[in-house]
Amino acid sequence: MTQATPQESQTVGHTDNSIVIDADIDFVWRMTNDLQNWPDLFTEYASVDILDHTGDTYRFRLTMHPDENGKVWSWVSERTLDEAAHRVVARRVEPGPFEFMDIEWTYAPEGDGTRMRWVQDFRMRPEAPVDTAGMTQRINANSKVQMAVIRDKVQDAAQRART
């Protein structure tokens, strides 16, 4: 467990991960933005509770499966969808160990498939159990895992829809 120094706590973490999914952009958009389905789409989420929905903006509580120590993490986030631009902007409303967490998902046609990209900018609180550099490594590693799982599930669903 690394404690952030005051100078490190000023550092902004930035991650940028993407994956190509062999499915139509509208299919990928619908499946990956169906919040109620996230516990089936992501391996890390136990539940999603929609708290508020106004227009294209959703406020919801995400609850993770217990970690290796049995702790259950939960927080409230807000997402605004721009389907015409195939772009989602999100932020943690309850930031927990983060001073802030801003997220952008974008989707773009690539070949016969869709490139899904996640960009996250954040800063850890000085008292957080991990510093910004450590969280950047964790998010990068986990994004690759989750994106691969999502790719496989979306591609399987798209294949079933085609047959």
Which tens digit of pLDDT belongs to each residue from 58-82?
999 999 999 888 889 899 999 999 9
Q: Is 1 inside any structural domain? A: no
Total domains in the fold of the chain: 1
Distance CA 47, CA 12 (A): 29
pTM: 0.90
Structural domain that includes position 145: 8-162
2 belongs to a structural domain: no
Residue 146 pLDDT: 98
SS3 state at 2: coil
Could you give the CA distance from residue 2 to residue 15 in angstroms, rounded to a whole number? 20
Per-residue model confidence (pLDDT) at position 56: 98
